[in-house]
Amino acid sequence: MTVPSRMLSLVATAVASMASALAYPFLPKRIATHFDVDGQPDRYGSRASAAIGFPAMMAGITVVNDRLGTWPGGRDREDAESGVRARNQAVALIELSLLSAHLDTLANGTGLHADMSRVNRVVYGVLMIALGNVMPKLPRNGLIGIRTPWTMADPTVWERTHRLGGYLITAAGVVSLASLPATGKRAARLPMAAALGAIGVSAAYSYVAYTRRAR
């Protein structure tokens, strides 16, 4: 993991751990640990699981990412280095989104109730905008990205699809943030619909791009 991304992941994990230690005495024995897209709690657990779960997950992700080395590789050294940077940036963003979810869980558990529907939309929006900027830099690989039979078969189709997907997922993030003033279930579900639409259009485009190149 590159130094800035690694430091960001370590800091996020440390902040999550310290927040758990500070909040633990004030948490009830049973606490909401997961919220649905409407911001309503749909899973409960002990205060120990609420305090330990996210920090442990974040630490595990950091360790696994360090072990991945130069994966997913690339066609040359520059391509491989670009892929590693993109992977590390994506991991750091995931860590930050987990930190946000952890802090929201602790806040609700200690009585500092937040509007989880709006919190979710902020987290999803920022995450999608950041991922949209990372996607065009991803080299072709078998795990991360828009992996259709057509992107995996042609590196040019992969590049074009991820360039378009980057724009569309960024736009989906903007839609998520723009929906903050709205209330109700439709507004809460808008970010997921926008993200699925962006992925669906990108996947369809990969087929179109491949068939055009095959002519």
Q: Is the pLDDT of residue 120 over 60?
A: yes
What is the pLDDT averaged over residues 158-178?
A: 95
Residue type, 177: L
The pTM of the full predicted model, rounded to 2 decimals, is: 0.71
Span 37-94, pLDDT tens digits: 666 788 888 999 999 999 999 999 988 888 877 666 656 676 667 677 777 877 888 8
What is the pLDDT averaged over residues 12-35?
A: 91
Tell me, what's the pLDDT at 68?
Answer: 79
Other C-beta atoms lying within 10 Å of the C-beta of residue 37: 18
Q: Is the pLDDT of residue 207 over 80?
A: yes
- Domain range annotation of the chain: 1-114, 116-215
Residue 23 and residue 112 in contact, taking contact as beta carbons nearer than 8 Å: no
Span 84-101, pLDDT tens digits: 777 787 788 888 888 888
Alpha helices in the chain, H assignment, sequence order? 3-23, 47-67, 77-109, 116-134, 149-153, 155-178, 185-214
Phi, psi of 147 (to 5 degrees): -100, 90
Q: Is the pLDDT of residue 154 over 70?
A: yes
Pairing of the two strands 41-46 and 30-35: antiparallel
Place of tokens 């120990």: 48
